Amino acid sequence: MIRTNPPCALPFWLSLALIPLAVLAARAGGWALVLLPLSAWWLITALDMAFGQSSDNPDPDSGADLFWHRLVTLIWAPIQLPLIFGMIWWATHSTHLNTAEIIALFFGVGVISGTIGMVYAHELMHQRNRGERWLADLLLASVLYSHFRSEHLLVHHPHVGTPRDAVTARYNEGFHRYFWRVLTHCPQSAWRAEAQLLARGGLPAWHIRNPFWRYGALQGAAVVLAFAIGGWAGVALFLWQALVAIWQLELTNYVEHYGLTRKRLDNGRFEPVLPRHSWNANHRASNWLLINLQRHSDHHTKPDRRYPLLQTYAPDEAPQLPFGYPAMTALAMVPPLWRRRMNPRVRAWRRQFYPEISDWAPYNRSKKV
């Protein structure tokens, strides 16, 4: 049974350590500005090496009270929103930071809102509780990526590993090409999915039940607030941190399913989603920071399973990454190095799970097989 007392949940509160680093960076400038990206990527990777991996699986049917595990996700929106807008006020009303330092500061803010805020929004949007879904919407609006909820729930989860899912990175596709593709494709895909959902109920796409009304209102309010606090400079800083956050999210999305495709069956449908269709990492520290997002196969098996209960799989069931997501996303920024490390793993995965497929070219091109 999973332990639910505060000390056992405490490692998953690691994200809170980034807040004083952000305050220090804003006050001190200079060298302190590198602390946020260094901590989120390289310090966590070093801690992964120090603490090793964990393959322990809690009992998902234990009925445990997960209050202390859930609480960190519930308080994050009331932390992140004041952080973003407070930093806008600070940057536009103080004089001790130069332009380059302000840009660097908001890069760090984007690292927080992307590495932590996006991951917590992902956890919250999958829950049935309406309050938690609203918190997810607030977090996504703070980085101008509200459509992600519709795209993720209505497109990515049903169609992961197939040509219909833009978020599944294609074999040999570099991150930079992938990033542009998802930025241009996913908002349209999310809109179509919501319109189709309304149409099945006999409602027009522009019906008030379409969540894009809420998305637009929340995002518009965020931009107006940035302008009210810091003028056009405030808007520019808000947009910059949002772009960094989106970049962080899509780096993670790129890693999670790179090159992993579902087999098309004789009836024209694709096989069900299986643990083999996600990359996993059992590294302790990065799973603490990312609240077990790296146990990604089980998340696709049970999307509404809360993060403390997610299961890990052995290599004969699901592919494993050599490092945690922070190190892997850094590697993804250099496509030649990424391909050298990951393409052999994808080819080994194909031989292991699909020895009967000899022609992978249609899957590589993400065309009809």
Rounded (10°) angle between helices 67-74 and 76-93: 30
The answer, yes or no, to whether residue 13 has pLDDT greater than 80, is: yes
Residue written as token pair 């940057």: 91
The answer, yes or no, to whether residue 7 has pLDDT greater than 80, is: no
Question: Chain-wide mean pLDDT for the chain?
Answer: 94
The answer, yes or no, to whether residue 8 has pLDDT greater than 90, is: no
The answer, yes or no, to whether residue 363 has pLDDT greater than 90, is: no
**DSSP code of 358?**
-
pLDDT at 1: 53
Residue range 239-286, pLDDT digits in tens: 999 999 999 999 999 999 999 999 999 888 999 999 999 999 999 999
The answer, yes or no, to whether residue 60 has pLDDT greater than 90, is: no
Residue range 130-140, pLDDT digits in tens: 999 999 999 99
**What is the band of 58 on the pLDDT scale with cuts at 50, 70, 90?**
confident
Query: How far apart are alpha carbons 252 and 270 in whole angstroms?
Result: 24
- Spatial neighbors of 195 by CB under 8 A, at least 6 apart, are 205, 210
Mean pLDDT of 63-69: 85
pLDDT at 362: 83
pLDDT at 309: 95
* Higher-scoring residue by pLDDT: 142, 1: 142
Residue range 96-120, pLDDT digits in tens: 999 999 999 999 999 999 999 999 9
Residues 257, 297 contacting (CB under 8 angstroms): no
The candidate with the shortest Cα–Cα distance to 255, out of 186, 351, 319, is 319
The answer, yes or no, to whether residue 90 has pLDDT greater than 60, is: yes
Mean pLDDT of 122-134: 96
Mean pLDDT of 310-328: 96
pLDDT at 369: 40
Longest dimension (CA), the chain: 66
The answer, yes or no, to whether residue 367 has pLDDT greater than 70, is: no
Residue range 157-214, pLDDT digits in tens: 999 999 999 999 999 999 999 999 999 999 999 999 999 999 999 999 999 999 999 9
pLDDT at 345: 97
- Where do the H-state alpha helices sit in the chain? 6-9, 18-28, 35-37, 44-51, 67-74, 76-93, 99-112, 119-125, 130-141, 147-151, 157-159, 175-200, 211-257, 284-289, 296-301, 325-332, 335-353, 361-365
SS3 175: helix
